Amino acid sequence: MHDGSYLNFRSAGTALVLDCTGGGLPRVVHWGADLGELGQDAMASLARAAVPQIASNNVDLAVPLSLLPEHSAGWQGTPGLTGHRAGADFSTAFAVTSLRAEGRSLAVVAEDVVAALELRLEIELTESGLVRQRARLTSLAEDGGALFTLGGLLLALPVPERATELLDMTGRHLRERTPQRHAFTIGTHLRDNRKGRTGTDAVTVHIAGEAGFGFRSGEVWGLHVGWSGNHRSLAERTHTGVSLLAGGELPLAGEIALGAGESYTSPWVFGSYGRAGLDELAGRFHGYLRARPHHPSSPRPVTLNVWEAVYFNHDLPRLKELADAAAEIGAERFVLDDGWFRGRRDDHAGLGDWYVDETVWPDGLHPLVGYVRGLGLEFGLWVEPEMVNVNSDLARAHPEWIMATGDRLPPESRHQQVLDLGHPEAYAYILERLDSLVGEYELTYLKWDHNRDLVEAGHSPTGRAGVHAQTLAVYRLMDELRKRHPNLEIESCSSGGGRVDLGILERTDRVWTSDCIDALERQLIQRWTGVLLPPELMGSHVGAPEAHTTGRTHGLEFRAGTALFGHFGIEWDLTSASPEDRAALAEWIALHKRLRPLLHTGRVVREDHPDPALWVHGVVAEDGGHAVFALAQVATSVQSPPGRVRLPGLEPDATYRLAPLAPADRPRGPAMDALAWWGEGVTLPGRVLSEVGVRAPIQNPERLVLLEARRVGS
């Protein structure tokens, strides 16, 4: 038990100081840089020093900002809890009944007797310095009493006044996680997502920071909602000088109504801090994910996915030829994409009929599966279990399993509707079909797609909103499937990168970062996805020379060098590639296999290079002994030759041998002979490479070179 005073959680250079005095919900006194050991007197003084004076025309007391901000305490910003019982009990006043601190975590139980509600809060500071918190709300009303209709439950973390800029992300299909920056002004910057999935335009991480913060400079604080359904994220600054980040699930009207003894548990809300920029903030997310017991630990298999090679045109000899080509260049996994099940000759029909199409596969998938495995490749399969085409046997047999308001179908998207997994029979059908497929073919991998937003997502026949139940059912379905098949890995694909969050990643092993494999677009998409996810969780493939989604043409070194910094794969009709291209791609695959122990465990670093046409990023081993960097020319520079590039993250006092890395060691541009150090490399201290740097090569736009640094003596 805790005595109701102060707590100082510390880890990895971060501190979370909590004020648990007074009987109200805990308040955050400090979230940021580690302050060292603090006694109770020091923390009490710190808390007193933060209490503002009473300003005119405000309430006559200092208004505390608790983890769940309450209107009853005088808080007039966005409330932490909204809801009511038939219009009453709209404002809560929770009193703490129990506090339990253990290690770097605190469990709080509080009750509002009048509103007949119990609140259980959990907050902890993880080993990597990441804050995570969630809440459980229970109705204590007597049987027969009014239901408590939940409007929302948002958990908050304060940020200091010096955080004057906001950065969040937006996007669309084929252009996910596009950053946007603006001033953190008085008012609320609200990002609501009502798409029924995380969304291609999701905020991802809501970041507040010092003016001009970058990847390697400026204090930053970020918040992420670990939920795969509707959610809310906000940054708020009041005229009374309080600034905060908050987030949680965003229930639809009437979606969550608690009867006697019923509970609602919020998603985890994560907070990350960086004293020196976004790389540190991102590193805490990466460290948290990598510390999970179920985080992928085996080498991530080089994956060939056949979608852009064959689309719906499944043909056994053709697919065998692709498998031969994949095995020849060193691929390790073969994934059969959309088009293998009944009636699926295009995207207008078949979803829901999860049986192998006998007209295309008279012997089932066994001939292909056996052939692929005979080549030494794993076999994976594409599915989209949450969706259904109206033109399917399933929809004709069970129209009541389609999510709808009760008297009409929602507008179609990609010619499909949403299957109501909150319906027990629909859930049981999908579980049986997936379980049977995984078992029959001994699948080790599912590419799990989700190709539309949820519109008017209601349970039939009542028409009540059902996104919350749908999200939990998807989690339950994945959890049960993996329980039955412990060796199964699942990829989260959702129109590409439309479901990228820490909720879905509790039960999946990577995300398909985007349906766009254009390397130039992927440079941006992967750069900003990396604020949340480490490279090994980002599916990153080498596409065809001409990108299918944009029509751009790139050389192999730019395409493969972009894919190198992720879970590497191929999305290209290798049978159409020249022998020279196949041989070159085999070199890249060999390089990735050599580097993946570094790429998938090391610290991701990005340089704030002053020239926006040149992006510098890399991965540095945790012990500082080995690093690889990419210099990606993403546009035409206004200056030529370019200046120096700094290589961040190296040990300052270590000496490194830096050299260009084949096969991306020959920039394509004019006057390459003039770069004196390029041919033989250079040996310099890490401090010099990080603070001064080396002269960058002249490159044509949309080109990339690699540099490898090894500590001398390693």
> What 3 state SS string does 391-422 have?
CCHHHHHCHHHECCCCCCCCCCECCEEEECCC
- Against a cut of 0.95, is the pTM above it? yes
Q: How many whole angstroms separate alpha carbon 521 and alpha carbon 526? A: 9
Task: Give the DSSP per-residue string, 133-173.
Answer: EEEEEEE-PPTTSPPEEEEEE-EEEE--TT--EEEEEEEET
DSSP-assigned letters across all residues of 266-306: PPPEEEEEETT-HHHHHHHHHHHHHTSTTS--SPPPPEEE-
Residue 501 · residue 226 · CB < 8 Å: yes
Catalytic residue among 168, 201, 337, 515: 515
CA 21, CA 3: separation in Å to the nearest integer? 9
The predicted structure's pLDDT at residue 670: 56
- CA 447 to CA 572: how far, in whole Å? 17
Q: Cα–Cα–Cα angle for 90, 92, 96, nearest 5°? A: 165
Out of 449, 453, 501, 518, the active site residue is 449
Give yes or no for residue 673 having a pLDDT over 70.
no
**How far apart are alpha carbons 404 and 455 in whole angstroms?**
8
> What Cα–Cα distance (Å) separates residue 570 from each residue in 21, 311, 407, 589, 630?
57, 14, 45, 10, 20
Alpha carbon of 500 to those of 44, 179, 287, 313, 496: distances in Å?
40, 15, 17, 29, 9
Known catalytic residue at 515: yes
Q: Report pLDDT digits (tens) over 169-225.
A: 999 999 999 999 999 999 999 999 999 999 999 999 999 999 999 999 999 999 999
- Side-chain half-sphere CA neighbours of 478 within 13 A: 24
Measured CA to CA, the distance from residue 286 to residue 499 in angstroms comes to 18
The residue-averaged pLDDT of 369-386 equals 98
**267-302 pLDDT, tens digit each:** 999 999 999 999 999 999 999 999 999 999 999 999
Q: How far apart are CA 683 and CA 709, in angstroms?
A: 9
- Would you give the DSSP letter of residue 506? G
Band of residue 4 on the pLDDT scale cut at 50, 70, 90: confident
pLDDT in tens, 328-366: 999 999 999 999 999 999 999 999 999 999 999 999 999
Q: Is 509 a catalytic residue?
A: no
Ramachandran category for residue 12: left, alpha or beta (phi over 0 → left; psi -120 to 50 → alpha): left
Which percentage of the chain shows pLDDT scores above 70?
A: 99
pLDDT band at 462 (very low <50, low <70, confident <90, very high): confident
Average pLDDT over residues 3-16: 94
CATH 3.40.50.300 assigned to 6-52+62-290? no
Query: For residue range 385-430, what is the model confidence (pLDDT) as tens digits?
Result: 999 999 999 999 999 999 999 889 999 999 999 999 999 999 999 9
Domains of the chain, residue spans: 6-52+62-290, 604-711
Question: How many residues are present in the chain?
Answer: 714
**How high is the pLDDT of residue 1?**
46
CB 631 within 8 A of CB 707: yes
How far apart CA 131 and CA 105 sit, in angstroms, is 10
Q: What is the pLDDT of residue 549?
A: 98
| pLDDT tens per residue across span 237-274 | 999 999 999 999 999 999 999 999 999 999 999 999 99
Q: How far apart are the first and last CA of the chain?
A: 49
Which band of pLDDT confidence, cut at 50, 70 and 90, is reported for residue 62?
A: confident
Q: DSSP state, 356? A: B
Contact 206, 222 (CB under 8 A): yes
- CATH architecture of residue range(s) 604-711: Sandwich (2.60)
Q: What is the CA radius of gyration of the chain?
A: 27
How large is the average pLDDT for residues 26-49?
98
pLDDT digits (tens, 9 = 90+) for 421-446: 999 999 999 999 999 999 999 999 99
Token look-up 């004293």 returns 275
> Are the folds of 6-52+62-290 and 604-711 the same?
no
